[in-house]
A and B are shown apart, each in its own frame.
Chain A
């Protein structure tokens, strides 16, 4: 699980 706080949802 990457913890790069990227949110790909809208």
Chain B
């Protein structure tokens, strides 16, 4: 555990909690892509199956349980409790265009051809693109609430910090996981455009809106 990984995990946790609180306090999931949230629930479920087979640390187990629990709670709020506020018409990204190629890639390129390892790889690949329905929705409506941009910033920052963690681990532990690193790089690059808008607009007190 190094400082980049810890702050990455905390940034990830902050993102998840910001989103849950935003929906809960405003009693609305307007502007939130339910499809991205379902994908994140799938990501956590397929990645953390090792909760059933191996114990790494109390930190590891509790974070995994919190992430999975919050992911399903978010999906529940969007599709059940506050369904009336869900903006399905704008959440029109075709997720099969992500899930099918990512599934194929996980079967072809993995560390070990076993069910658990393929599902772990699938979750890594899927996570890297799971935000696309959300970014697509924002580009379609042309705007995002400020609290939603804070959520996206923390979520993007988390994988960027993990990149620093992997550089650290390579130098100090000789640890190298190319699948995680390349997927993490793709994931971070997808946020770059958003990071630019966040810094130039939201941090200066303006609402994030895209030119028509």
In the complex, identify which listed stretch (B30-38, B56-64, B82-90, B148-156) lies at the interface while the others stay far away: B56-64
Measured between beta carbons, the chain A residues less than 8 angstroms from B50 are 6-7
Please report the C-alpha to C-alpha distance between residue A6 and residue B111 in the assembled complex, in whole angstroms: 11
Please report the C-alpha to C-alpha distance between residue A6 and residue B162 in the assembled complex, in whole angstroms: 18
Are A5's CB and B180's CB within 8 A?
Answer: no
Are A9's CB and B180's CB within 8 A?
Answer: yes
Are B56's CB and A6's CB within 8 A?
Answer: yes
Q: Kindly state the interface size class of chain A when it binds its partner.
A: under 10
Annotate A1-10 by CB proximity to B: 1 below 8 A, 0 otherwise.
1010111111
Are A9's CB and B162's CB within 8 A?
Answer: yes
Verify if B67 is at the interface (C-beta below 8 Å from A): yes
Main secondary structure, interface of B, reads helix
Are A8's CB and B112's CB within 8 A?
Answer: no
User: Do A10 and B67 contact each other (CB < 8 Å), given the known contacts A5-B111, A5-B112, A5-B117?
Assistant: yes
Annotate B98-128 by CB proximity to A: 1 below 8 A, 0 otherwise.
0000000000000110101100100000000
**24 CB < 8 A contacts A-B:** A1-B174, A3-B112, A5-B111, A5-B112, A5-B114, A5-B116, A5-B117, A5-B120, A6-B50, A6-B54, A6-B56, A7-B47, A7-B50, A7-B120, A8-B56, A8-B57, A8-B60, A9-B5, A9-B162, A10-B9, A10-B12, A10-B60, A10-B63, A10-B64
Where the two chains meet, the residues of B that have a C-beta atom closer than 8 Å to any C-beta of A are 5, 9, 12, 47, 50, 54, 56-57, 60, 63-64, 67, 111-112, 114, 116-117, 120, 162, 165, 174, 180
Where the two chains meet, the residues of A that have a C-beta atom closer than 8 Å to any C-beta of B are 1, 3, 5-10
Question: 12 more A-B contacts (CB under 8 A) besides A8-B57, A9-B180?
Answer: A1-B174, A3-B112, A5-B111, A5-B112, A5-B116, A5-B120, A6-B50, A6-B54, A6-B56, A8-B60, A10-B12, A10-B63
